[in-house]
């Protein structure tokens, strides 16, 4: 019985040792994951700091004057607009006070498939930040729409967001004079935007 007890205790000790090793291994994996997580956050943070841009918005925005049709002159390329030409955005007031958004364009060429998307926009803080809008094309998922630059007569606008990944140059006319375009490019450079990523959007000539 004594020998049996010793054998049993030995097996138990081995099992406990293996169990402890397993726990240590799990803890090592856990702490390694934590360390990697913090390293990832640090890298993303550093990357964000390096790509910081000045996305301040205009102080005033008259919604009534902003309504109507805008032509897309240039943009950062995105999956949801890739290959689209003749892109326009039309804004109108809805009965509930929100803004109806109608974006449209042609795939690859003016002979291509016509596509359009209907959404809505709102101004969360019309008193403090009237030029910071939120736009949604699906349920309650909203994206930023920052009016960063705006012509005093509402003839052109530069749109950004809280991220440096989105940028648009809009105009009331399908073509923009080169002098004005390059002036806006210089403004964007000073804001820290990578203007080399802007693509000119083909528009029909009136």
Residue 205 has a pLDDT of: 86
Q: Is the pLDDT of residue 35 over 90?
A: no
Q: Looking at the structure, do residues 112 and 148 belong to the same domain, yes or no?
A: yes
Residue 55 within a domain: no
Q: Looking at the structure, do residues 23 and 2 belong to the same domain, yes or no?
A: yes
Across all residues in the chain, what is the average pLDDT?
82
- Segment 64-85 shows an average pLDDT of 96
Residue 161 tokens, joined: 């967001």
Q: Is the pLDDT of residue 39 over 90?
A: no
Residue 141 within a domain: yes
- Minimum mean pLDDT among 17-31, 78-92, 151-165: which range? 17-31
Q: Count CB neighbours of 55 within 10 A.
A: 19
pTM assigned to the model: 0.75
Q: Looking at the structure, do residues 87 and 169 belong to the same domain, yes or no?
A: yes
- Segment 121-130 shows an average pLDDT of 96
Q: Is the pLDDT of residue 36 over 90?
A: no
Q: Looking at the structure, do residues 25 and 102 belong to the same domain, yes or no?
A: no
Which residues form the domain of 14? 1-50
Residue 17 has a pLDDT of: 41
Q: Looking at residue 177, which CATH number applies to its domain?
A: 2.40.128.20
Indicate the helix (H) or strand (E) that contains 92.
Answer: strand 84-93
- Segment 109-131 shows an average pLDDT of 96
Residue 187 has a pLDDT of: 98
Q: Do 130 and 60 touch, CB atoms closer than 8 A?
A: yes
Q: Looking at the structure, do residues 140 and 80 belong to the same domain, yes or no?
A: yes
> What is the Cα–Cα distance from 112 to 204, expressed in whole angstroms?
13
Q: Looking at the structure, do residues 174 and 107 belong to the same domain, yes or no?
A: yes
Q: Is the pLDDT of residue 183 over 60?
A: yes
Q: What are phi and psi of 118, to 5 degrees?
A: -110, 130
Residue 75 tokens, joined: 């943009």
Residue 193 tokens, joined: 């935007």
Q: Is the pLDDT of residue 40 over 60?
A: no
Q: How confident is the model at residue 103 (pLDDT cuts 50, 70, 90)?
A: very high
Q: Looking at the structure, do residues 9 and 72 belong to the same domain, yes or no?
A: no
């Amino acid at each position: 019985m004594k020998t049996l007890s010793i054998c049993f205790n030995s097996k138990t000790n081995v099992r406990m040792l293996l169990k402890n090793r397993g726990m240590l291994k799990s803890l090592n994996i856990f702490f390694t994951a934590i360390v990697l997580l913090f390293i990832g956050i640090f890298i993303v943070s550093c990357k964000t700091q390096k790509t910081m841009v000045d996305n301040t918005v205009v102080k005033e925005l008259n919604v009534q004057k902003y309504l109507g049709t805008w032509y897309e002159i240039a943009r950062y390329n995105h999956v949801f607009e890739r290959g689209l030409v003749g892109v326009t955005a039309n804004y109108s007031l809805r009965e509930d006070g929100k803004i109806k958004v109608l974006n449209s364009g042609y795939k690859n060429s003016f002979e291509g498939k016509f596509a359009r998307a209907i959404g809505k926009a709102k101004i969360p803080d019309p008193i403090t930040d009237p030029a910071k809008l939120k736009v949604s094309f699906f349920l309650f998922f909203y994206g930023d729409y920052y009016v960063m630059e705006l012509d005093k007569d509402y003839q052109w606008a530069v749109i950004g967001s809280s991220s440096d990944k989105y940028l648009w140059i809009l105009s009331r006319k399908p073509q923009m004079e080169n002098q004005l375009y390059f002036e806006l490019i210089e403004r964007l450079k000073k804001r820290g935007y990578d203007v080399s990523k802007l693509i000119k959007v083909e528009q029909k000539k009136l």
